[in-house]
């Protein structure tokens, strides 16, 4: 069997085919990276929105806590007033059998009734504020859960991007190697063509001499 001869031109065509394949792979990798970056941008936008919502929730909670603190202060004051009024009423009742007019006792009872009404209103306001605070805390918990999920998605997308970048780096390394091989082959081809040109020149000269001799 005669050996298979691969010409320099065939070798060059094979190298160009490999390079074309490498470039196609790189194009695909870049497309994947572009998609990954788009996904990451969307994730970051979602996270920004989540953080904005959380900031608003925390602001609302701070306001609620401030209102609640004020209400508790008012309630404490009202309880103090009520305690004083009860003390006065007790004193009045103790001296009722002596010379205290009944009108004084009636006034004390009226004041005490008013204080109890104010205290009841304060307790109602406090209950409402606590309900609002509970609702806001529930909203904050939900938003924190959403933020945690979005952070998990972002972490996954970053992992995918890292993998794709690794693949792209590998493909670029392969392309660089193939280009180096192609450059070497072209150099060899150029040298072979130079040798062939020289050989043809020598052959032409020899034929000319032979013709002259004949």
Question: Using one digit for the tens of pLDDT, what is the confidence trace for 30-45?
Answer: 888 788 788 888 878 8
Q: Give 157-194 pLDDT, tens digit per residue.
A: 888 888 888 887 887 787 777 777 777 777 777 787 78
65, 134 in Cβ contact below 8 A? no
pTM above 0.75, yes or no: no
Has residue 11 been placed in a domain? no
Residue 203 domain flag: no
Give the model's confidence band at 86: pLDDT under 50 very low, under 70 low, under 90 confident, else very high: confident
Establish if 162 belongs to a structural domain: no
Residue 188 placed within a domain: no
Average pLDDT across the chain, whole number: 79
Does residue 43 belong to any structural domain of this protein? yes
Chain segment 121-161, per-residue pLDDT in tens: 888 888 888 888 888 888 888 888 888 888 888 888 888 88
Under the banding of pLDDT at 50, 70 and 90, the label for residue 5 is low
**What total number of domains does the chain contain?**
1
pLDDT at residue 93 in the model = 67
Biggest alpha carbon distance in the chain?
169
pLDDT at residue 96, rounded to an integer? 59
Expressed as residue numbers, the domain containing 79 is: 30-157
Concatenate the DSSP letters of all residues of the chain into one string: -PPPP--HHHHHHHHHHHHHHHHHHHHHHHHHHHHHHHHHHHHHHHHHHHHHHHHHHHHHHHHHHHHHHHHHHHHHHHHHHHHHHHHHHHHHHHTTTTT--HHHHHHHHHHHHHHHHHHHHHHHHHHHHHHHHHHHHHHHHHHHHHHHHHHHHHHHHHHHHHHHHHHHHHHHHHHHHHHHHHHHHHHHHHHHHHHHHHHHHHHHHHHHHHHHH-
Question: Does 214 fall in a domain?
Answer: no
Residue 126 lies in a domain: yes
In a domain, residue 175? The reply is no
Question: What is the rounded CA–CA span in Å between residue 72 and residue 122?
Answer: 8
Query: Which whole number is the average pLDDT over 49-66?
Result: 84
pLDDT value at 4 more than 70: no
């Amino acid at each position: 069997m005669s050996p298979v001869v691969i010409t320099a031109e065939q070798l060059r065509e094979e190298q160009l085919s490999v390079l074309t394949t490498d470039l196609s792979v790189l194009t695909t990798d870049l497309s994947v990276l572009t998609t990954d970056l788009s996904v990451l941008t969307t994730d970051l936008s979602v996270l920004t929105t989540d953080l904005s919502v959380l900031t608003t929730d925390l602001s609302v909670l701070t306001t609620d806590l401030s209102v609640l603190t004020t209400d508790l202060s008012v309630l404490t004051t009202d309880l103090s007033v009520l305690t004083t009024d009860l003390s006065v009423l007790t004193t009045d009742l103790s001296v009722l059998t002596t010379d205290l007019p009944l009108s004084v006792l009636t006034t004390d009872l009226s004041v005490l009734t008013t204080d109890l009404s104010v205290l009841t209103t304060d307790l109602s306001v406090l209950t409402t504020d606590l309900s609002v605070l509970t609702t806001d805390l529930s909203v904050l918990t939900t938003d924190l859960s959403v933020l945690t999920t979005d952070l998990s998605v972002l972490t996954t997308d970053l992992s995918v991007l890292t993998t794709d970048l690794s693949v792209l780096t590998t493909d670029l390394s392969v392309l660089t190697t193939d280009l180096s091989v192609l450059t070497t082959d072209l150099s060899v081809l150029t040298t072979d063509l130079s040798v062939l040109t020289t050989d043809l020149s020598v052959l032409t000269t020899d034929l000319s001499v032979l013709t002259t001799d004949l």
